[in-house]
C-alpha cells in the first residue's frame, strides 16, 4: 500500500510551515517535504515534526537570483553554490531532514557539466558526514526552459560517474512524463538509483486523479517494485487543499 508525503511548497503553502506540517498530519499524510524553508526558525519546524510524528523527507537548495533556478551548474559561481549547499545541509541537520535536492540552474555546455559534478562532489562529501542523501532532479523543458538537467539519462550518467552512494535521482513523474513518458519501465530501470519519487497530474500539475497519467497503475507499479518510502505529492491544488485529497483513497 503506497504511503504519501505532502510537498508543502505547493500544499498548504498559504500557512506558516509549522502549521502546514500540522495540516498535513491532520489530512492523513505519512511525511512532509518542502522547497525553501529558510525563513522559518528550524526549532519551530523541528517542534512541529516532533508533535505530529511526521518525518521531513527533503528540501531544496536556494535558486539564487531571479531566473537562475539554482547555482550548482553555473561556472564561476562555485563559492556561492557551495555556500547554499552548506546552508541547506545545515538546516536539514537541524530539523532531522535526510535529503537535500541540489538545484542545477540555467546553464549549458561542458563547463556547466564540470561545475555541476564538482559541486555535487562537495555536497556528497558534506552530506555523508551527517548521513544525508543528495538528490538531483531532471526538470522538463517547458516549465523550466534552459535548466541544465532535463533528462533522466543525463542524471543517471552523472550519478554513475561520481559513484557516490549518497547521490540519488529524484524521479518526478510529472517531469518524466513530459520528457518521454513510459513511466512504468523507466521507474523499473532507474529503481537502483532513485532516492525519492514525486507525482502530479500531467499536463496541468494538479491533483493526480486527472490528466493523462493513470496514477492508480503507477502507484501499483511502484508498490510492486518493493518501494516502501512515501511518495511526494507535489501538485498545485488550485485552492484549498482538502477538497483535492480524494485521490488518497481513490487511487490506492
> Catalytic residues, which ones?
137, 234
Task: Return d(Cα 56, Cα 78) in angstroms, integer.
Answer: 27
178: Cβ contacts below 8 Å, ≥ 6 apart: 140, 142, 143, 202, 203
Neighbours of 53 (CB within 10 A): 9
What are 99's strand-pairing partners?
A: 133
Closest by Cα among 112, 196, 118, 197 to 164? 118
Pairing relation of β-strands 194-199 and 4-7?
A: unpaired
Closest by Cα among 47, 17, 8 to 232? 8
In this structure, what C-alpha cell is assigned to residue 167? Answer: 547521490
What Rg, from alpha-carbon coordinates, does the chain have?
17
144: Cα separation from own chain's centroid: 15
Amino acid at each position: 500500500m503506497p504511503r504519501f508525503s505532502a510537498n508543502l511548497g505547493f500544499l498548504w503553502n498559504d500557512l506558516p510551515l509549522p502549521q502546514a506540517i500540522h495540516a498535513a498530519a491532520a489530512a492523513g499524510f505519512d511525511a512532509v517535504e518542502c522547497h525553501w524553508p529558510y525563513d522559518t526558525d528550524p526549532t519551530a519546524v523541528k517542534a512541529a515534526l516532533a508533535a505530529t510524528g511526521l518525518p521531513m523527507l527533503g528540501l531544496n537548495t536556494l535558486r539564487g537570483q531571479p531566473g537562475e533556478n539554482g547555482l550548482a551548474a553555473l561556472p564561476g559561481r562555485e563559492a556561492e553554490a557551495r555556500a547554499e549547499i552548506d546552508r541547506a545541509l545545515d538546516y536539514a541537520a537541524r530539523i532531522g531532514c535526510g535529503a537535500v535536492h541540489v538545484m542545477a540552474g540555467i546553464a549549458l555546455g561542458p563547463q556547466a557539466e564540470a561545475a555541476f559534478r564538482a559541486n555535487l562532489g562537495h555536497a556528497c562529501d558534506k552530506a555523508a558526514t551527517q548521513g544525508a542523501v543528495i538528490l538531483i532532479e531532471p526538470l522538463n523543458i517547458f516549465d523550466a526552459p534552459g535548466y541544465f538537467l532535463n533528462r533522466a539519462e543525463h542524471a543517471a550518467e552523472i550519478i554513475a560517474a561520481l559513484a557516490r552512494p549518497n547521490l540519488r535521482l529524484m524521479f518526478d513523474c510529472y517531469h518524466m512524463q513530459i520528457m518521454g513518458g513510459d513511466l512504468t519501465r523507466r521507474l523499473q530501470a532507474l529503481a537502483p538509483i532513485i532516492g525519492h519519487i514525486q507525482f502530479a497530474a500531467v499536463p496541468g500539475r494538479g491533483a493526480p486523479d486527472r490528466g493523462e497519467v493513470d496514477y492508480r497503475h503507477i502507484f501499483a507499479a511502484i508498490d510492486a517494485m518493493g518501494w516502501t518510502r512515501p511518495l511526494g505529492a507535489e501538485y498545485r491544488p488550485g485552492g484549498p487543499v482538502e477538497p483535492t485529497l480524494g485521490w488518497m483513497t481513490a487511487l490506492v
